Amino acid sequence: MYSRKLLTLDKQHFLTNGELDHKTATDLLFTKYLHWRYENEVRAFTELDTLDPDKKMYFKDFSDDLRLVQVIVGAESALTKAAIKEALGEPASTVEIFKARLAFKTFRVVRQRNQKLWA
């Protein structure tokens, strides 16, 4: 969901135990400023059941229900195409990977079209 207005919080958004009510929490998680609509971002939340013992983090495996389709490497990132492909492994052949850059005349973040600038 996109909005022109900044979401604000007041007493009516909190339950008696001090937690946010469900609608407010959902609105905060799924609302972005209207200007970012061009990103076509999809946000999803899922239960994370299994702790990775090496990384001490929780991950959700990709599946028919959760598929990686695109990796956008930030404008200031030093990651190379090769490093991204290595990290992705076999799925790299089906995932769109590109480098972003700051737009020249606006505040947008856009695709770096000059491939010579990202090895």
Count of beta carbons in the 10 Å neighbourhood of residue 37: 10
Q: Compute the distance between CA of residue 50 and CA of residue 60 in angstroms, rounded to an integer.
A: 8
**Does the predicted model carry a pTM greater than 0.75?**
no
Kindly give the confidence (pLDDT) of every residue in the chain, 119 residues in length, as a single tens digit, with 9 standing for 90 and above: 888 888 888 888 888 888 888 888 888 888 888 888 877 777 877 778 788 888 888 888 888 888 888 898 988 888 999 999 999 988 888 999 999 988 888 878 888 888 888 87
pLDDT of residue 83: 93
CA 69, 102, 97 angle in degrees (round to 5)?
20
DSSP assignment of 2-46 equals EESSPP---GGGB-TTSPBPHHHHHHHHH-EEGGGGGG-------
pLDDT of residue 95: 92
100 phi and psi, to 5 degrees? -100, 160
pLDDT of residue 62: 81
